[in-house]
């Protein structure tokens, strides 16, 4: 990390301390090819790897570990983004999965399902949520051939270690689809400034270590088709989860982003704290399809399996009794927080899409509202049952 962040590793971050000057000093660093001996080139400050070479190099376990160490450095202290040219040496594997993805989109459209998202207005894009599970069920042979790709696994484990979990969302930006606003990604990137500021500074460091973002190009993506825009080195600005909302930071991004054309079968991986945004598709004939990969750390899980719904229903009458006794509101809320799940994810984004914001309510929000409005126990039980139902996977819904 640069010294700009050196005195903020404890305590809390304030939006008022966001400094564009500090940010500019970080992002205007130059990426040096000499720091990345396994890389092929530096293009617009981004590290580019030739996967034909990497596949040969990584046949040696010691070299593979050295490559992963280099990738980790690129994600953490380098530009935060790497491109893997020819990640899929055989693009027929990509084509076969594209056929399956298009079938999913056609099925959604025929059913009148608007599978858009909070990043694009309806019609600008076609989105398939939980494409990972759907592909495994619909086209298992193609799934195996696709996710057997060692470049994907090597990059993911370089940042997250072993035992990582894929999620996948297909995004097709249609001709004329408008650019996104610059942003950071999950976890803190899905929160408002006020919500993110509630987390201490060390969590702002930690959030980016819990996921890795990736994308596989399922078609050729010239710049005019609007491939993702990036601001290399921006992941190193500690205040970034507060700053990306601010107009001066967005203006700087719009004037200084880089945009790399991709070929079908290329892959991009980047630190989720990197400032980025999908570009405008200015073509009339390219449906820009990418398989967006969000790879998740195995460490962000509880030690024990807990049935929060059962707990909430069991203690709800006692919560109302505790409130009626005159207990301080904070104490009541502390008790609610001990039994309700405070995070809106994971969820089934086909059934529980946050179209009106970055996230939907958490279970904790539901129970808080119940206590505040003094719902009946039956009403809370019904709301919690509906909440859980919206989060069931497609397999659970059909079993």
Residue pLDDT, tens place only, 265-309? 999 999 999 999 999 999 999 999 999 999 999 888 776 778 899
Average pLDDT, integer, range 311-319: 92
Q: Are residues 162 and 226 in the same domain?
A: yes
Asked which of 180-194, 356-370, 380-394 is least confident by mean pLDDT, the reply is 356-370
* Cβ pair 378, 397 in contact under 8 A: no
238 and 290 in a single domain? The answer is yes
**320 in the same domain as 171:** no
1-12 confidence digits (pLDDT tens): 443 444 555 699
CB atoms within 10 A of CB 53: 14
Residues 135 and 259 in one domain: yes
Average pLDDT estimate for 162-177? 91
Structural contact between residues 83 and 266, judged by C-beta atoms closer than 8 angstroms: yes
> What's the domain count of the chain?
2
Give the pLDDT score at 399: 60
Indicate the pLDDT class of residue 164, thresholds 50, 70 and 90.
confident
CATH of the domain at 191: 2.60.120.620
Query: Can you tell me the mean pLDDT for 91-96?
Result: 96
Q: Is the pLDDT of residue 370 over 80?
A: yes
Least confident segment among 19-23, 197-201, 328-332:
328-332
- Whether pLDDT at 185 is above 80: yes
Do 123 and 174 touch, CB atoms closer than 8 A?
A: yes
Strands (E) in the chain, as ranges, are 41-43, 46-50, 81-85, 125-128, 165-173, 211-217, 229-231, 258-259, 267-270, 275-277, 288-296
pLDDT at 397: 66
b (16+ CB within 10 A) / e for 87-96: bbeebebbeb
Work out the number of other CB atoms within 10 angstroms of the CB of residue 168. Answer: 23
Same domain, 292 and 319: no
Residues 316 and 290 in one domain: no
What pLDDT does 2 receive? Answer: 42
- Lowest-confidence pick of 42-51, 272-281, 306-315, 378-387: 306-315
Q: Which of 117, 232, 238 is nearest to 188 (CA)?
A: 238
Backbone angles phi, psi at 379, to 5 degrees: -65, -45
Report the run of H or E that residue 243 belongs to, with start and end. Answer: helix 240-243
Q: Name the residue among 139, 248, 231, 225 with its Cα closest to residue 184.
A: 231
Please compute the mean of the pLDDT values over residues 219-247 and round it to a whole number.
97
The token pair at 312 is: 């909430």
* pLDDT score for 334: 86
What is the structure's pLDDT at 3?
39
**CA nearest to 292, candidates 178, 187, 167:** 167
pLDDT in tens, 221-233: 999 999 999 999 9
* 180 inside domain: yes
- Domain-located, residue 302: no
Domain limits for position 264: 3-296
State both tokens at 241: 């989860």
């Amino acid at each position: 990390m640069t010294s700009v962040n050196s005195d903020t590793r404890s305590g809390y971050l304030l939006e008022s301390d966001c400094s564009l000057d500090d940010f500019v000093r970080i992002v205007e660093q130059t990426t040096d090819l000499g720091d990345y001996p396994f890389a092929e080139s530096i293009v617009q400050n981004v590290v580019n790897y030739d996967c034909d070479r990497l596949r040969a190099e990584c046949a040696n376990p010691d070299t593979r570990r050295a490559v992963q160490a280099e990738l980790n450095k690129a994600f953490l202290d380098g530009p935060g983004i790497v491109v893997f040219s020819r990640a899929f040496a055989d693009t027929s594997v990509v084509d076969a999965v594209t056929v399956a993805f298009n079938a999913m989109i056609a099925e959604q459209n025929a059913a009148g399902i608007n599978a858009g998202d909070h990043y694009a207005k309806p019609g600008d894009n076609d989105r398939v949520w939980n494409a990972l599970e759907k592909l495994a069920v619909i086209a298992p042979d193609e799934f195996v051939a696709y996710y057997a790709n060692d470049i994907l696994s090597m990059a993911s484990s370089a940042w997250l270690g072993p035992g990582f979990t894929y999620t996948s969302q297909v995004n097709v930006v249609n001709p004329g689809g408008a650019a996104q606003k610059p942003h950071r990604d999950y976890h803190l990137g899905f929160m408002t400034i006020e919500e993110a500021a509630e987390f201490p500074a060390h969590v702002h460091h930690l959030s980016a270590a819990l996921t890795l973002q990736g994308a596989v190009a399922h078609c050729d993506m010239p710049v005019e088709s609007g491939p993702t825009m990036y601001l290399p080195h921006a992941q190193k600005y500690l205040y970034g989860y507060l700053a990306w909302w601010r107009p001066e930071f967005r203006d700087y991004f719009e004037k200084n982003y880089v945009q790399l054309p991709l070929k079908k079968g290329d892959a991009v991986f980047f630190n989720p704290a990197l400032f980025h945004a999908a570009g405008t598709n200015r073509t009339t004939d390219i449906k820009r399809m990418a398989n967006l990969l969000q790879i998740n750390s195995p460490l962000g899980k509880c030690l024990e399996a807990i049935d929060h719904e059962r707990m909430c229903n069991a203690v709800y009458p006692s919560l109302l009794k505790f409130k009626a006794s005159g207990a301080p509101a904070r104490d009541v809320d502390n008790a609610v927080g001990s039994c309700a799940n405070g995070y809106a994810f994971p969820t089934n984004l086909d059934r529980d899409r946050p179209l009106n914001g970055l996230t939907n309510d958490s279970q904790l929000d539901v129970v808080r509202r119940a206590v505040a409005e003094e719902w009946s126990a039956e009403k809370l039980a019904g709301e919690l049952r509906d909440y859980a139902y919206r989060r069931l996977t497609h397999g659970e819904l059909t079993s």
